[in-house]
Amino acid sequence: MSTTPLLVTGASGHLGRRVLELLLARGAGPIIATTRNPDSLKDFAARGVDVRRADFDDEASLSQAFRGAGRALLISTDALDRPGRRLAQHQAAIRAMKAAGVRHIVYTSLPNPHPGSPISVAADHRETEAAIQASGLDFTFLRNNLYTDLFLHSLPAAIASGQLVDARGTGATAFVTREDCAQAAAAALAEPTTGRHTLDVTGPEAVTSDELAALLSELAGRKVVHVSVPPDALVRGMVGHGLPQPAAELYASFDAGIQKGELATVTDTVKRLSGHAPQSVRDFLTAHRAVLLPARNT
Ligand SMILES: NC(=O)c1ccc[n+]([C@@H]2O[C@H](COP(=O)([O-])OP(=O)(O)OC[C@H]3O[C@@H](n4cnc5c(N)ncnc54)[C@H](OP(=O)(O)O)[C@@H]3O)[C@@H](O)[C@H]2O)c1
């Protein structure tokens, strides 16, 4: 095991906290965790993690916050409020990592972030990857597929209404759990790999919405049908149900990408990095039955 100081940015988020847990469990480190809110990581500071304040919007502070790190996990931020903001944050973080002496950046990206992708956030990921490539540093791009965990928000309504409405057509998605993404990220950060690697991080199979509806029908004990609508109709429907227009457009762009097959590739990255097979959609949904079917509490 390497003793290179390991840096995790955005460490108070869901993924960041779990990566910290996994790094501690494998005895990796020393570990530096940066966050906008160090108080939120007091529990990790008490366990020996060097918790520091860093806000990618405040570039001047970053080199100091990243000092001493040899390998860094750059967790993409959630700053989607203004076009260009998130990319500027990532570019500032990359410049600061290089200035601080980081040699290898692990970055949480998106599958197929090419210019033709309908997925609206693809450009941020593509340009962030380009900035890391241009930095001259070694890297591992972890192109995380859609989190299976997002189902916990979207599927209860589908089960209740009996309709799984999306704009995915017959497109399949290689959903991956956030836990498996964290396992892959912790391993990619802790292992002393060198060079330049681009890896799709996926679940064990690609699932269509027809297959998902059939699975939901089985788990819920009542019929759920898949209804695929055009992306603009999906946006109108979501806005009609109270979702802000930008969020509706983001979700619909993912559906357009899925319909085109942008998220369908299945890889063995999770197994190769973490040593265990990724969790299937069926196993994840079965483990979360109580959330999906709250009224029945089964
Ligand atoms: N694959 C998927 O399905 C999927 C779904 C949702 C999101 N994502 C992406 O994956 C990332 C990690 O997922 P998650 O579940 O951990 O999301 P999350 O819990 O929402 O965490 C968002 C992270 O962004 C960081 N962040 C926000 N603004 C920042 C800033 N100005 N400077 C530095 N860091 C900033 C936060 O760090 P601090 O609060 O610690 O400063 C936080 O850890 C997300 O941010 C998003 O880019 C992927």
Residue 183 Cα to chain centre, angstroms: 12
pLDDT band at 297 (very low <50, low <70, confident <90, very high): very low
pLDDT, position 35: 97
Q: Is 109 helix (H, G, I), strand (E, B) or coil?
A: strand
All structural domains of the chain: 6-147+177-203+265-278 (3.40.50.720)
Above 70 in pLDDT, residue 295?
no
> How much is the average pLDDT of 221-236?
96
pLDDT band at 251 (very low <50, low <70, confident <90, very high): very high
Q: Pocket of ligand 1, candidates 53, 73, 77, 112: which has the most ligand atoms within 8 Å of its Cβ, to mutate? A: 77
Ligand 1: which atom is nearest the Cα of residue 76? 47
Q: Pocket of ligand 1, candidates 37, 51, 75, 119: which has the most ligand atoms within 8 Å of its Cβ, to mutate? A: 75
pLDDT, position 110: 98
> How much is the average pLDDT of 78-95?
94
Q: Do residues 185 and 15 lie in contact, with contact meaning Cβ atoms separated by under 8 Å?
A: yes
pLDDT, position 244: 94
Above 60 in pLDDT, residue 136?
yes
Strands 104-109 and 71-74: parallel
Contact partners, residue 83, CB within 8 Å, separation at least 6? none
177 lines ligand 1 (CB under 6 A): no
pTM for the full predicted model: 0.97
Contact partners, residue 43, CB within 8 Å, separation at least 6? none
Above 90 in pLDDT, residue 2?
no
> How close is the Cα of 16 to the center of ligand 1, in Å?
8
Nearest CA among 127, 124, 68 for reference residue 101: 68
pLDDT, position 83: 86
pLDDT band at 298 (very low <50, low <70, confident <90, very high): very low
